[in-house]
Structure 1
Amino acid sequence: MTEHDLFVVLIAIHITTGAPGLIGFWIPVLAQKGGERHKWWGKIFSVLMLITGTVAMMMATLTLLYPMPTHPHLVDHPEFSDPVLVQGIFGWMMFYLGLLTVNLTWYGWRCAVNKRDQRKNQTALNWGLQAALLAASANCALQGVLISQPMMIGISMVGFATVATNVWFLMKTDPSPIEWLLEHIKAIVGTGISVYTAFFAFGAVRLMPELALAPGLWAIPLVTGLALIFYHRHKVTQRFTQRTARPHQRRSMDLDAAE
């Protein structure tokens, strides 16, 4: 099996898990929070994204080792025929996005599972993912500087922000009852942003490689995702405020229902 053959197999796995995830993302987002559909699809989405992100890192590693054999359609491309550029965009940046997806998915999932005891999130795996993403973010920015790609520098800021906010929550010894849910929303919707960004940007490579650097393709998922995060955070905060103001109101206002 050649490097390209292995790369094609990884692409097939990536699409098989990623495509249902792109669709499945919206079901828990739109479904009643805390309902069985929300929980079931949330778990399915999380598993699919963990696989998709891991495979993306494997594809990126192959690209770093064999940039042109894994992307033979770019050999004669006027811009992407440079192996260094291919390694930068489809190697280093894709590895970073894959790790970002895994980091956010695992962190967001654990925040919901361990909502009653945040200390259970302070595992070696969770801390390791933060350290790995910090290193990957710094490397993505550095590689962007070395090959003069501002897009790589800009997108790395998402990783730095993710690590900072994740660590801020993980280090808390007595978080408020609402914080686990706010972090869950941030992380899972952030996963959606990461995956849709990669889908629009890297998926366009097969048709028009230069679209991978188009700011619009990166901006659409980011703006949509941030809008969802702010909307749901506002709704949750509002509901929590109402519940604390009226502690005897019915069970449906209980934040436990938002798991």
Structure 2
Amino acid sequence: MLELIHMTALVVHIAIGSVALIIFWLPIIEKKGSAFHKRSGQWFVWGMTAVSLSGILMSSLVFIDPLAIRDPQGLMTLTQANQAVEVGRSSSAFLFMLSFLVLCTTRQSSLALVARANRDVLKTPLHLFCICMLVVSAFYVGYVGLQRTSMLYEIFSVLSIVSALGMLRYIYKRDLKKSEWIIEHLTNIVASGIAAYTAFFVFGGQSFLNHLVPGDYQILFWIMPGVIGATISRTFAVKYRKQYRVA
């Protein structure tokens, strides 16, 4: 039963995620504020919400019972089973964190756009719970990263914590500057895309990369979305801070 649920969620995750990764670029290249910018942006929000929820479901199932998903027929040896449990739980924790990072940044971006100067919609129990889950999972992934000496886990653990603290700071800061919500919308939607592309290269594209790139160099592809995304985010943030006089 768990295997069937996981497989169904995986199909949904891959199908919607593949389309969303392409849609991500449409609002970026389209004129800001245009009808198509808004429409394609909403498509991306819907897609990322579905992708993050399916990712949370899949990673939770694997973390709870790795062998029910990875070895439903019970064909592994004891050594193989123990290894599958260890790897399954660490990788599922990373996916769980990335899924909450996608969910939180997508929601923060969308809600900031709706709320503008009124941040009450950002203070709902659901949104704050998601941010808290991101922080908790990030600390756990950081711990796993230290245990496994995984630079990828450690980097994204720190990035997730910084992202969560940034969201909370925006939500609870005393005063907002005029049009500051635009910067919050922009930086978080780009962060959502960064997390989505990272998840693709780490999980979905790993088998493809194995045939083209030596293992030691694959981390470059895992970090590359963050570098590109940060560059895009900073470029637009600087532009719109000047345009709307947001210090």
Q: TM-score, normalised by structure 1?
A: 0.83
1:219 aligns with 2:223: yes
Q: How many angstroms apart in 2 are the aligned matches of 1:197 and 1:123? A: 28
Distance 1:100 1:153 in 2: 15
Query: Are the equivalent residues in 2 in contact too, given 1:205–1:212 (CA < 8 A)?
Result: no
- Unmatched segments (≥5 aa) in structure 1: 244-259
CA distance in structure 2 between the aligned counterparts of 1:60 and 1:121, rounded to whole angstroms: 26
In structure 2, the residue matched to 1:130 is 131
Gaps of 5+ in 2: none
SS at match of 1:83: helix
CA distance in 1 between counterparts of 2:43 and 2:124 reads 23
Does structure 2 retain, via aligned residues, the 8 Å contact 1:25–1:45?
yes
Compared CA separation, residues 120 and 9, structure 1 to 2 (3 A) = closer
Q: How many aligned positions are there?
A: 238
d(CA) in 2 for partners of 1:54 and 1:149?
25
Q: Are the equivalent residues in 2 in contact too, given 1:193–1:225 (CA < 8 A)? A: yes
Q: Distance in 2 between matches of 1:83 and 1:172?
A: 42
Q: CA deviation at 1:69?
A: 4.5
Matched, 1:16 2:15: yes
Show the counterpart of 2:170. 169
Residue 244 of structure 2 aligns to a residue in which SS? helix
Offset, 1:65: 2.6
Q: Supply the distance in 2 between the matched residues of 1:64 and 1:104 (Cα, whole angstroms).
A: 23
Deviation digits for residues 118-144 of structure 1 (CA, Å, limit 9, x no counterpart): 343222222222211111111111122
Distance 1:170 1:99, change over 3 A: same
2:196 equivalent to 1:192: no
Q: Tell me the distance in 2 between the aligned counterparts of 1:19 and 1:153.
A: 26
In 2, the alpha carbon distance for the partners of 1:18 and 1:195 equals: 8
After the TM superposition, which residues 98-247 of structure 1 pair with which residues of structure 2 at under 5 Å, given as runs?
A: 98-207=99-208, 208=210, 214-241=218-245
Report what 1:4 is aligned to. Answer: 3
Deviations 1:29-59 (A, max 9, x none): 1111111111111111101101100100111
* Structure-2 residue corresponding to 1:85: 87
Structure-2 separation of matches of 1:10 and 1:123: 27
Shift of 1:117: 1.7
Question: Is the Cα–Cα contact under 8 Å of residues 28 and 39 in structure 1 kept in the other structure?
Answer: yes
Q: What displacement does 1:213 show?
A: 8.9
User: What is the CA-CA distance between 1:82 and the residue it aligns to?
Assistant: 4.1
- Listed one character per residue, the Cα deviations across residues 38-87 of structure 1 (whole Å, up to 9, x for unaligned) are 11111111011011001001111121133244345xx79x9x95420221
Please give the secondary structure, in 2, of the residue aligned with 1:175.
coil
SS at match of 1:70: helix
Query: For residues 87-107 of structure 1, what are the alpha-carbon distances to aligned partners after superposition, in whole Å with 9 as ceiling and x for unaligned?
Result: 102x11010101111011001
CA distance in 1, matches of 2:46, 2:173: 27
CA distance 1:148–1:26, shift in 2 (3 Å): same
TM-score by length of 2: 0.87
Cα distance in structure 1, aligned partners of 2:167 and 2:31: 26
- Aligned residues of 2:66 and 2:84 also touching (Cα < 8 A): no
User: Does the aligned pair in 2 maintain the 1:57–1:99 contact within 8 Å?
Assistant: yes
Provide the identity percentage. Answer: 22
Q: Which letter does structure 2 place at the counterpart of 1:41?
A: S
RMSD: 2.7
Does the CA contact (< 8 Å) of 1:60 and 1:94 recur in 2?
A: yes
User: Residue 21 of structure 1: CA displacement?
Assistant: 0.7
CA distance in 1, matches of 2:243, 2:193: 24
